Amino acid sequence: MSEGLRIHDLRCSVDGGEILKGIDLTIEPGRVHALMGPNGSGKSTLAFSLTGHPKYEVTGSVLLDGEDLLALAPDKRARAGLFLSFQYPAAIPGVKVANFLHAARQAERPGDLPPAKFRALLLEKMDQLGIDPSFMGRYLNDGFSGGEKKRLEMLQLAVLAPKYAILDETDSGLDIDALKDVGDSIAALRASDEGRNTGFLIITHYPRILQYVIPDVVHVMIGGRIVKTGGHDLAHRIEREGYDVLREEAGAVA
């Protein structure tokens, strides 16, 4: 039975400066958590700490279904079932999308699908997400629009079917139509057999994407700490009042 992604007293320092100051958070299978906060609050630092950034000094405890995640190298964290969607996906001219996705699947699950079955899976997922099959022959993110890059990451997520997915500001730089497409893609993934038990941590600055992906829980991070946790209405409050009110409330409690 899955136990969740359990984070306890996680602290992270970069170049001697402490950024995360004791994070406690549990992502349950099949549930969506949103992590919101102003720029510089430590949201992306949390994502990179969990996935193993080599320059980060991390202490505390992170268990992925009972396994000590911090003791694993970054590639083994991915094989254990952790996925990170980047805010700014890199372009790699000369590497075709289909080849990249096949290599990614093979790296995490060596030999689980012969080429013909992998191609069938890829076509199935592209159809599920409404992605044109011509994507397979294009070079990875080369000349892609912002929306295409993010939809490709959703396709990668669908192909890898991780246990826990961290989406780091997936809505960054997207127009309304592209944002809706990404939101619809996440909803389709959650409804699929492989994705319905995936735990999501959606990291965002603005509540726009949460109009399309309704979170079960919303957390607010300010100054390297989670200062408030609530339901979806907390995102609406942030939209109305901004972060300053929560920052003042957190300061009063401290």
| All domains of the chain in start order, with CATH | 5-90+162-253 (3.40.50.300)
Model confidence band, residue 2 (pLDDT cutoffs 50, 70, 90): low
The pLDDT tens digits for 46-101 are 999 999 999 999 999 999 999 999 999 999 999 999 999 887 788 999 999 999 99
In this predicted structure, which of 73-77, 183-187, 218-222 has the lowest mean pLDDT? 183-187
How does the average pLDDT of the chain come out, rounded?
Answer: 90
Residue 103 to residues 24, 108, 180, Cα–Cα distance (Å): 34, 9, 29
Cα 90–chain centre separation = 16
pLDDT score for 205: 84
Model confidence band, residue 104 (pLDDT cutoffs 50, 70, 90): very high
In this predicted structure, which of 59-68, 137-146, 168-177 has the lowest mean pLDDT? 168-177
For residues 137 and 123, give the distance between their C-alpha atoms in angstroms, rounded to a whole number.
Answer: 12
For residues 100 and 84, give the distance between their C-alpha atoms in angstroms, rounded to a whole number.
Answer: 16
* Three-point CA angle 219, 48, 153, nearest 5°: 85
Please check the confidence at residue 252 and state whether its pLDDT lies above 70.
no
Model confidence band, residue 251 (pLDDT cutoffs 50, 70, 90): confident
Please check the confidence at residue 1 and state whether its pLDDT lies above 50.
no
Spatial CA neighbour of 184 closest among 148, 213, 156, 145 = 213
Most confident range (mean pLDDT) of 23-32, 104-113, 125-134 is 23-32
141: enclosing H helix or E strand: none
Q: Is this structure's pTM higher than 0.85?
A: yes
* Three-point CA angle 192, 72, 80, nearest 5°: 15
